[in-house]
């Protein structure tokens, strides 16, 4: 009966003791720290600490337009007007009309805001490198050195999907490099983090090397289990994926590292380049031109009439350094080919170059390119099939679309009459 009050009393004494001890420990630990932070700054110490290791450089680019493709006939025009791309984007044309200026891009976050973050003791854990990079992820740091799987002194993040491949280096890493490449030179010991792939394209290795980034010394191939810490983590990821300024600056960078001086060789701009897909060079098969002989004859004819060099380009046979390819495309006047990654070489061609993309589509989904036939026509989604059109416009090139229906194997016959009609208009 009397046990309970005594127990309660004991408990009371214990709690008092704990409070006194805790208070003493608290006092001992916190007093000197408070003094320090008072000397440095009047801010609360937690904010002070997170602010100290954090630096952000930002600017906002101008809004821009992407004009519609050039059409050589009604078939091309009507096809494009019923595409999912047009259905989504025509909502963004000023006064509901796309003809005059094209689609207007002005979303601050997605299209205009360029940022670089420098984080002390930053921690990178498999975040997607793009304008949607989370705020918390950007500011993530490590406290103990056993948190990351590896710690570098300095590292720069370029972890865009498939950035190890030629095509996705150009459309993913290039625009981010164009505003952050100065950090590669400023910190020549900084590691460069890219996504690990099934291969690392030679041409991309060569571009990095021309930028002073040797694979053996600086490239880190990131795989998802890694947690990368860096005493200084440089993050250029929150940057628009598409903006003419970034793309044209990236192009200037490719020219400059290849030793091309812009003014000198304007008169040599006389290549007509046919980008050839063959059963052996195409990674995904299909999209082959079945009537290639008459197709090539028309191109050769056009070249002789306009004093152009006819160049047939098969990337699988190109064993030269990327520098030669950059020069070849720098001197292009016309580039023509069926939709494929190799058309990304247009990134080395000048403004006003004519780009002709033969867009293969299936008759069963007559308004979608083959490369996004998994979407239903009424399922409005952006489609990778329009990426080369977008690129050409960002690069201020004259883009023509020639949609051609494919057979059951995904191959096509180019209608020679239509091709001739197009060539007559450029």
Q: Which of residues 398, 405, 410, 411 is near ligand NAG by CB under 6 A?
A: 398
The binder of ligand NAG chosen from 50, 351, 407, 420 (CB under 6 A): 351
Instruction: Quote the CA–CA distance of 206 and 155 in Å, as a whole number.
Output: 20
417 touches ligand NAG (CB under 6 A): yes
What secondary structure letter does DSSP report for 239? Answer: S
Binding residue for ligand NAG, selected from 163, 174, 244, 385, defined by CB under 6 A: 244
Which residue, 93 or 299, is less far from ligand NAG as judged by CB?
A: 93
Q: Of 121, 138, 126, 141, whose CA–CA distance to 56 is shortest?
A: 138
- Minimum distance, C-beta of residue 372 to ligand NAG, in the bound complex (Å): 24
Q: Is 61 in the site for ligand NAG (CB under 6 A)?
A: no
CA nearest to 371, candidates 259, 285, 309: 285
- Please tell me whether residue 407 binds ligand NAG under the rule CB under 6 A: no
Per CB under 6 A, does 270 bind ligand NAG?
no
Spatial distance between the Cα atoms of 404 and 402, rounded to a whole number of angstroms: 6
CB of 70 to ligand NAG, least distance (A): 4
CB of 347 to ligand NAG, least distance (A): 14
Q: Contacts with ligand NAG: how many residues (CB under 6 A)?
A: 14
Shortest Å, Cβ 82 to ligand NAG = 17
In 30-160, beta strands by DSSP E? 54-60, 64-66, 103-105, 113-124, 150-157
Looking at beta carbons only, is 149 or 351 nearer to ligand NAG? 351
CA angle 361, 364, 368 (to 5 degrees): 40
Nearer Cβ to ligand NAG, position 324 or 351? Answer: 351
The closest alpha carbon to 390, from 238, 247, 273, belongs to: 247
366 binds ligand NAG (CB under 6 A): no
Instruction: Provide the minimum distance between the beta carbon of 375 and ligand NAG in the complex, in angstroms, as a whole number.
Output: 27
Which residues, numbered 88-127, are part of the site for ligand NAG (CB under 6 A)? Answer: 106, 108
Tokens representing residue 148 in the block:
């990351």
CA distances (Å), origin 86, targets 92, 250, 305, 377, 381 = 10, 27, 35, 12, 10
Output the smallest distance, CB 74 to ligand NAG, in A: 8
Window 378-397: residues binding ligand NAG (CB under 6 A): 396
Beta-carbon-side half-sphere exposure of residue 128 (alpha carbons within 13 Å): 9
Q: Of the two residues 230 and 395, which places its CB atom closer to ligand NAG in the complex?
A: 395
In angstroms, the Cα distances linking 352 to 206, 284, 292, 395 are 27, 30, 27, 9
Which residues bind to ligand NAG, rule: CB under 6 A? 67, 70, 75, 106, 108, 244, 351-352, 396, 398, 415, 417-418, 426
């Amino acid at each position: 009966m009397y046990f309970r009050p005594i127990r309660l009393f004991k408990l009371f004494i214990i709690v008092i003791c704990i409070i006194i001890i805790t208070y003493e420990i608290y006092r001992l630990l916190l007093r000197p720290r408070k003094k320090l932070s008072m000397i440095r700054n009047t801010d609360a110490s937690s904010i002070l600490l997170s602010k100290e290791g954090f630096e952000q450089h930002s600017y906002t680019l101008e809004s821009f337009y992407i004009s519609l493709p050039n059409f050589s006939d009604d078939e091309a025009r009507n096809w494009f007007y019923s595409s999912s791309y047009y259905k989504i984007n025509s909502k963004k044309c000023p006064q509901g009309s796309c003809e005059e200026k094209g689609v207007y891009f002005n979303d601050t976050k997605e299209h205009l805001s360029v940022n670089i973050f420098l984080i002390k003791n930053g921690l990178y854990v498999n975040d997607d490198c793009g304008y949607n990079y989370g705020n918390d992820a950007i500011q993530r740091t490590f406290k103990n050195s056993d948190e990351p799987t590896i710690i570098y002194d300095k590292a720069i993040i370029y972890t865009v999907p498939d950035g190890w491949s030629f095509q996705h280096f150009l459309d993913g890493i290039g625009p981010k490099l164009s505003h952050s490449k100065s950090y590669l030179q400023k910190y020549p010991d900084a590691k460069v983090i890219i996504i690990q792939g099934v291969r690392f394209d030679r041409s991309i290795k060569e571009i990095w090397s021309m930028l002073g980034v040797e694979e053996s010394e600086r490239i880190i191939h990131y795989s998802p289990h890694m947690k990368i810490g860096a005493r200084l983590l440089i993050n250029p990821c929150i940057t628009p994926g598409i903006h003419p300024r970034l793309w044209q600056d990236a192009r200037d960078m490719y020219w400059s590292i290849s030793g091309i001086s812009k003014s000198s060789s304007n008169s040599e701009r006389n290549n007509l380049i046919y980008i050839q897909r063959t059963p052996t060079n195409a990674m995904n098969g299909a999209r082959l031109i079945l009537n290639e002989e008459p197709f090539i004859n028309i191109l050769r004819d056009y070249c002789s009439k306009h004093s152009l060099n006819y160049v047939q380009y098969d990337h699988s046979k190109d064993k030269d350094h990327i520098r030669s390819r950059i020069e070849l495309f720098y001197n292009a006047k016309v580039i023509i080919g069926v939709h494929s990654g190799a058309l990304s070489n247009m990134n080395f061609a000048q403004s006003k170059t004519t780009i002709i993309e033969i867009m293969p589509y299936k008759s069963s989904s007559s308004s979608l390119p083959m490369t996004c036939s998994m979407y239903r026509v009424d399922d409005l989604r952006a489609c990778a099939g329009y990426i080369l059109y977008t690129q050409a416009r960002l690069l201020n090139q004259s883009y023509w679309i020639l949609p051609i229906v494919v057979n059951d194997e995904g191959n096509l016959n180019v209608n020679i009459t239509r091709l001739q009609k197009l060539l007559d208009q450029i």
